[in-house]
Structure 1
Amino acid sequence: MENLFILLGAAAIGFSHSFEADHLVAVSNIVTRRTNTISAIKDGVFWGLGHTSTILLVAIIYMIGKFILQENNFHYFEASVGLMLMVLGVIRFYKIFQDRSHGHSHISEPTFGLAYGVGLVHGLAGSGGLLISVLTQIKDNVMAIFYILIFGIGSIVGMMIAAGAFSLPFSTKIINNKWLSTILSTVSAFLCVGLGAMIFYKNII
């Protein structure tokens, strides 16, 4: 029964973890280029799979190699998230400028691989505190792996909801409103660059 409560807690923590600001900003930058909610929800799934893949891989390496994990070791990984956000924002600014220059909105939807890759980077950065907590308190390696997997499922569900919600203003019924689309896209790009710069500065300087 105790293990059940632990795993239910993992799902709840994973769900809430997906709503952290850097996660939401990055995924919103991706899904606002979608024209239908189903594709955006799939982005949420792929983000969660990427996020879980990295955390699981780091955990397995730790278990096999018995490396010492310290939260300070993950500062550079956190900085990589900031850099990734800035890159996503700059690319979005370029696409907005390109669309405005051509006098029309050219919809270029990203591949699901982009969402998976963004999730991988987020997982690498966010794995520090989670792994230190789980792997130092749960001595049973099998239970620790189950915890991470359930945490991953929770994060996938949370991001599916967030991605679907972010995509609604960009559905095919609204995307024809060129000004609204441009404004929302610009806000998303600003948030990416701004938050990315803050995260990068905090972990590098």
Structure 2
Amino acid sequence: MTSILLLGFVVGLQHAFEADHLAAVSALVSRKRGLREMTLRGAIWGVGHTLALLVISGLVLFSPWGLPTAFETYAELAVGLLLIALGSQVLYRLWRDRVHIHAHGHDDGRVHLHAHSHRDEVVPHKESDHDHAHPHPGSWSWKTLIVGLTHGAAGSAALTVFVAATLESRAAGIVYVLIFGLGSILGMMLLSAVISLPLAATARRLTWANRALQTAVGLISIGVGLSMALHKGIALFS
């Protein structure tokens, strides 16, 4: 039993690095302000992913109805459309806002990266005094949670629920899903931290490189989303 649960953790950790997850999290953290917030975004995604798996597992393990046959296909189609929307949002904001990033400090000594735009200014960027206030919203993001929930309902859901249903008890099945979820949360935190490194490095001095990286993130997210949506759409409607 212990080996099965340990396997669930390892599979959850590995699962975080799948292509659609990489594309989604890259798009979500591409404009965040620092390593801590980027990593927290990954954790929120993982929590949403785990909550979806728990709900689906609960329906399968504790109800007589189970899930419709086409549920997973519809969920993966939704993930594809969501990735297209996330990637498009990244590209649109870059085009609309002339976004670039500066490092700045606070009175308590903290330094973080701040993305902003000059779309309402008429002076050249080098002549701007960069004297503008900016909000510091909380790190919790419902959008990130919803993306995680959508991913949790697709792809791995069927396999994870199948393994949970074959264990010796319903309680063991739920524990397996929780441990799988813990692995995916840690994996997404690690992935978000890794993604943040080139973004942070280029944000300090190489604004053009940072914009290029964000453009690549947007295009990759759209590409992965189109591939998923077309594949699942053809499967559903052919």
Same fold per superposition (TM over 0.5): yes
Letter in 2 for 1:144: G
Identify, as 1 or 2, the structure richer in helix.
1
Is 2:195 the partner of 1:166? yes
Gaps of 5+ in 2: 102-114, 118-134
Equivalenced residue count is 200
Give 1:70 shift: 6.7
Point out the structure with the larger strand share: 2
Tell me the equivalent position of 2:43: 45
Q: 2:18 aligns with which of 9, 17, 20?
A: 20
Q: Is the 8 A contact 2:42 2:188 kept in 1?
A: yes
Identical columns (%): 32
Q: Which residue of 1 aligns with 2:164?
A: 134
Q: Which sections of structure 1, spanning at least 5 residues, go unmatched?
A: none
Residue type at the aligned position of 1:29: A
SS of corresponding position for 1:175: helix
Amino acid at match of 1:26: A
Aligned counterparts of 2:93 and 2:71: Cα–Cα separation in 1: 35
| Other-structure match for 1:182 | 211
- Shifted more, 10-19 versus 57-66: the winner is 57-66
What is the match of residue 184 of structure 2? 155
CA contact (8 A) 2:54 2:177 kept: yes
More displaced 10-residue stretch of structure 1: 15-24 or 63-72: 63-72
Q: 2:203, 2:59 → 1: CA distance?
A: 45
Corresponding residue number in structure 2 for 1:11: 9
Cα RMSD, aligned residues only: 2.1
Q: Which SS does the other structure have where 2:202 is aligned? A: coil
* Correspondence 1:110-129 to 2 at 5 A: 111-126=140-155, 127-129=157-159
What code does the residue aligned with 1:130 have?
T
Question: 1: distance between equivalents of 2:168 and 2:203?
Answer: 51
Alpha carbons 2:26, 2:195 under 8 Å: kept: yes
Greater Cα shift, 12-21 or 174-183: 174-183
Q: Which amino acid aligns with 2:203?
A: I
Q: After the TM superposition, which parts of structure 1 deviate over 3 Å for at least 4 consecutive aligned residues?
A: 68-73, 102-105, 107-111
